[in-house]
Structure 1
Amino acid sequence: MNKQELIVAIAADSGLTKADSKKALDAFISATSKSLKKGDRVALVGFGSFSVSKRAARKGRNPQTGKEIKIAAKKVVKFKPGAELSKNVK
């Protein structure tokens, strides 16, 4: 499902217009991004939680040449599904 298909599904389930559904989805993405950027955790009970984790610098290998390279440390977004979501997917 891509973003446009998600907007159509939200509009169908909620009774909102597609335009309002797009605004709601964009607002959710924006609010979640801002919160994660600050280092906060975003938890949606039953659905799951988004958090930021630090990944340490490490050594890797270029698969084409086999040469060792340095991979810089960075922050990554993690998603942990909630119990209800996990139950519905099975």
Structure 2
Amino acid sequence: MNKSELIACIAEKTSYDQILVKNNIDVFLDIIQQELSKGGKVQITGFGTFESRQRKPKKGRNPQTGGELIIPFRIVPFFRPSKEFKEKIN
């Protein structure tokens, strides 16, 4: 399911206009991104936790030349599903 399919599904189940649903999803995602960019985390009970994690610099290889290179430090988004979420999937 992609974003437009998700919007259509939510609009159908809630009888809301697709534009309203799209705007709400966009705001929701924007708030999560802003919080993670500040180093915070977003916990949604029964669903999971969005947080940012730091990856240390490490050595890697260029697949085209085989030469060694350094992969720089970076911050990546991470999602940890809740116990309830895992149980529903299994």
State the TM bucket, normalised to the shorter chain.
over 0.9
1:68-87 matches, within 5 Å, as 68-87=68-87
Aligned-residue sequence identity (percent) comes to: 38
- 2:13 aligned partner, one-letter code: D
**Residue 26 of structure 2 aligns with which residue?**
26
The TM-score, its normalising length taken from structure 1, stands at 0.93
The TM-score, its normalising length taken from structure 2, stands at 0.93
**Residue 54 of structure 1 aligns with which residue?**
54
Q: Distance in 2 between matches of 1:3 and 1:83?
A: 25
- 2:31 aligned partner, one-letter code: A
Give ranges in structure 2 of 5+ residues lacking alignment.
none
How many residues are paired up? 90
Q: Distance in 2 between matches of 1:10 and 1:38?
A: 29
**Residue 8 of structure 1 aligns with which residue?**
8
Q: Distance in 2 between matches of 1:38 and 1:50?
A: 12
